[in-house]
Amino acid sequence: MKEWSTFGQKKIGHTGTLDPDAEGVLPVCLGMATRLVESLTKGTKTYEAVLLLGVTTDTQDTSGKVLTEQEVTVGEEEVKAAVLSFTGEQEQIPPMYSAIKVNGQKLVDLARRGVEVERKPRKVEFSEIIIKEIDLPRVRFSVTCSKGAYIRTLCEDIGNKLGCGGCMESLLRTRVGQFGIEDAYTLDEIRTMKESEDLKAGGTADQYSFVRPLDAFYTDLPAMNVQEFLDKAVFNGNSFRVRGSSSQTEAELVRIYSSDGTFIGIYKKEGRFMKPEKMFYSPVQQ
């Protein structure tokens, strides 16, 4: 997080940690954008994983202690059927090596002390699973899943279904909501861009080419600029009455901007009024 402190932001938030050996997309929210964390966390995530069949470990990935090793005798068609059978809503038991808390203690901390506790299965959803390559004992696949799903556990569950066991060999998060890996930067790349853009103390995050503006998260919603006489109302987070009819005012949720184009927040239509749903403007900004 030290790299982000140079932006002079008091609030910084991310949208879900990655496994220690995993790589990929991790949106970081700065300042007022931390109000997006909850929405991003609830959204779907897409991963590319490599499943290693025939091996089980205590961490459900290859970084852990090997528990069992078996010969893989199943064929490709059987493997395909088993992997794809997990598409849809599933009951998944969270792994011991996870940040989930039980009675105030993280499961991973208990696991490291050799303590295992009963975990209740949770409903998760794998909305899409695509097999990329099968080169037994390895299977490379992509999966889009809901919040709370563990790909390590999915790999182990597939191995158990095939009767030979399995664990996760590698994991790459390729998408979080609308943010794909093609949009991502490494920390080294960010450092280099800071230097090339001559970033100096006193700058603001929205000046940087690699930081997206707040309203980029809501590009699927119609936009409305209010007239100047309504600026004071929206700057203070007040509702306002709409006149006439347009594609914007007919929508349930709308991006609201002041007359000079300042992004205010998301408003919800209720009758002839637009009422604030989620505000991103603060008078402190002015």
Cis peptide before 137 (omega within 30 of 0): yes
Residues contacting 134, CB < 8 A, separation 6+: 76, 79, 80, 140
* Termini Cα distance of the chain: 27
Please choose, from the candidates 154, 145, 35, the residue with its C-alpha nearest in 3D space to the C-alpha of residue 92.
Answer: 154
Please choose, from the candidates 15, 87, 95, the residue with its C-alpha nearest in 3D space to the C-alpha of residue 57.
Answer: 95
How far apart are alpha carbons 55 and 131 in whole angstroms? 20
19 as an active site residue: the answer is yes
Q: How many CA atoms lie within 13 A of 147 on its CB side?
A: 11
Q: Which residues pair with 12 in a beta bridge?
A: 30
User: Which one from 19, 157, 198, 231 is the annotated catalytic residue?
Assistant: 19
**Whole-Å CA distances, 84 to 132, 170, 218:** 12, 19, 33
Catalytic residues: 19
